[in-house]
Amino acid sequence: MKRFFSTLGISIVTAVLSLIVYDHYQERSQKSVAENSMPLSVVPTNFPTTNSEALETDFTIAAEKTVHAVVHVKNTSVSRQPGNMMELFFGGGAPRAMIGTGSGVIISPDGYIISNNHVIERASSLQVTLNDNRTYNAEVVGTDPKTDIALLKIEAEDPLPYIPFADSDAVKIGQWVLAVGNPFNLTSTVTAGIISAKARDLNEFDNNPQSFIQTDAAVNRGNSGGALVNTNGELVGINTAITSETGSYVGYSFAVPSNTARKVIEDLLEYGNVQRGFLGIQGSGLDAKRAQSLGVDDTQGVYVADVEVDSGAQKAGLQEGDVIKNIDGVSVAKFSDLTGYLNAKRPNDVVSLTLNRNGKTLVKEVVLRKIDSYTLTDLGLTVKNTSKSQREKRDVAQGVIVTNVNNPDLSDLGLDGAIITQVNDVAVNNIDDLKNIIENKYTGPLKLTFVDRKGEKNSILFR
């Protein structure tokens, strides 16, 4: 028994000593870890942010502000359906009403409405229906086929809800937006998405360069002319187009920036036409392949291929081979960045260009000049004077170049980008010659002789 208690006592003492040693070791280990951890900064997994828009965005406020200011536009046009071969070749036939629909955006309480030109073109009558089902006849104040913008006016009894403009240059990729319109005649439809890209050109090699805002907000037929708004309910764009093999939305839609649309309607109201500032260069955007072929180091920017005579660019000292990298502090990565910015400018505005010339950075102040162009309204063709390099490339002595074909009947005839050299077998040196022939001597059939983009000479007779 005595031996048992002796063994038990030794065990107890050993256990107590073990606990004391363990506690001492733990205290030193924790102190060592704490001392070694002092220089390290603690980084939380939930990063703080000053903008919780992505987590707290409430689209209901923007929808409530805008849905009553977007209207349904009904376009009624009258065409004649040929009933026999004589009517097919010489015109005529039974009149037939055709109806198209789209959207519009009220931009002032007194009834001014923005829409797309393609929504209202060739209309015999236009009817606008508000979100409360009131209907009004609309008049066309003016149109600009180049930007696909139209300005309408209705006379309402009371002040109308409207959407204020935002600065479309300030929108950012990834920013939330809403598309408000009337797809498939479903009035007051709101869809949400983000800004997917800016300064998007759908016709990179066209003579009518574009600069759209791209979004993934669902847009379908009938949305054209509707509003693209930010989460404050402000207008950042006019929904205009989609790219699709089926004709329906597949994830991409495009809007005319609000800065461009606003400038167009202000010009239409003040001048009756659009005043465009002309830089005076011919050029293209750059990528690795083009840069290599042109012998330049830049893979982004606008390469100046030609400087037009008496233009602001020539007077400012721009030269062939310059690469435009910046305009008024706005980065220029591609041609549509440049044209998109210039779309909001007028003649006599001054822009500051930052250039790369043979590895040196230069800054040039350019005074924009008025674009010298002329539109053959009956044909839907817009032309402007040609530069020496344009004529040399086509091997022609004179002519005016077609910059826009706003007539689907002529879209496949090779006129887009063509140089018209003669009208009714009379030489055309500039747009003044063309004006004189059209306005003073055109009383019958009209024959256009032109050289297309491929350098082939053609003639078309219009009766």
Catalytic residues: 118, 148, 224
Which pairing describes strands 302-307 and 189-200: parallel, antiparallel, or unpaired?
A: unpaired
CB environment 99-138: b (16+ within 10 A), e (fewer):
ebbbbbbbbeeebbbbbbbbbbbebeebbbbbbeeeebeb
- Which is it for the CA torsion 273, 278, 281, 285, positive or negative? negative
Burial of residue 166, with CB atoms counted within 10 A of its CB: 0-12 exposed, 13-18 middle, 19 or more buried: buried
CB 201 within 8 A of CB 211: yes
- Residue type at 241 in one-letter notation: A
> Smallest Cα–Cα separation from 248: which of 194, 183, 177?
183
What is the greatest pairwise CA distance in the chain?
A: 140
> Smallest Cα–Cα separation from 117: which of 109, 107, 108, 126?
126
At residue 284's C-alpha, the angle toward residues 279 and 286, to 5°, is 130
Query: What's the CA gap between 247 and 249, in Å, rounded?
Result: 7
> Smallest Cα–Cα separation from 255: which of 236, 268, 272?
236
237: Cβ–Cβ under 8 A, 6 or more apart, which residues? Answer: 168, 177, 212, 213, 215, 227, 228, 255, 256, 257, 258, 261
Query: Across the chain, how many H-helices and E-strands are there?
Result: 11, 28
- Residue type at 138 in one-letter notation: A
Place of tokens 């004189």: 436
Q: Which two tokens mark 401? A: 């170049």
70-81 sheet: strands from edge to edge: 135-137, 125-129, 70-81, 94-106, 112-116, 149-153, 139-144
CB 222 within 8 A of CB 210: no
Expressed in angstroms, the distance from the first to the final Cα of the chain is: 134
Query: What's the CA gap between 208 and 405, in Å, rounded?
Result: 9
